[in-house]
Amino acid sequence: MKIAEKELTKLYYTIGEVALMFNVNASLIRFWEKEFTIIQPKKNKKGNRLFTPKDILNFNKIYNLVKEQGFTLEGAKNALKNKSLDSVEIIPQVVIQKQSAINTGQIIVNLENIKSKLSKLKNN
C-alpha cells in the first residue's frame, strides 16, 4: 500500500481515518505507535490522537515493511534505523512478487550447496 504525500490534504487525521486508510484496526495503530518512535501523533485536550501527514507517511513505511514485505517488528525497526527515513522504499506488490521468485531460486541454490557440503562433512 502506498499513500502519496499529495493525497494527504488535511493537517491532522484521527486514528479512525488512519485505520480506514490502511484497512487495519485502531488497536494496531496504537500498538505500532508504542513500538515505533517515528510515529508521534499529537493529542488534543480529550486525549484523542491526531496524526500529521508525516506520521501517516511513517506509518506507511512501517506498514510496507511489516505487512507487505514480511519483516518482523524488530526487523522493521532495524531497517528504519539503517536507512534514513526518507530513503525507505515503498515497493509495489508486483515488484515484491518478482523479487520473491528471484530470491526463492537463489535460496534453493544456496540450500543445495549447503546440503552438499554437509553431506561431504558427514561422509568424512
Q: What's the domain range around 48? A: 5-90
Number of structural domains the chain divides into: 2
* pLDDT score of 2: 63
* pLDDT score of 96: 45
Residues 35 and 78 in one domain: yes
Cα 123 to Cα 120: distance, rounded to the nearest angstrom: 5
- pLDDT above 70 (res 102): no
Do the beta carbons of residue 20 and residue 29 sit within 8 Å? Answer: no
**pLDDT (tens digit, 9 = 90+) per residue, 21-76?**
899 999 999 999 999 999 999 999 999 999 999 999 999 999 989 988 888 998 88
* pLDDT score of 81: 84
Residues 63 and 111 in one domain: no
Strands 42-43 and 13-14: unpaired
Residues 51 and 103 in one domain: no
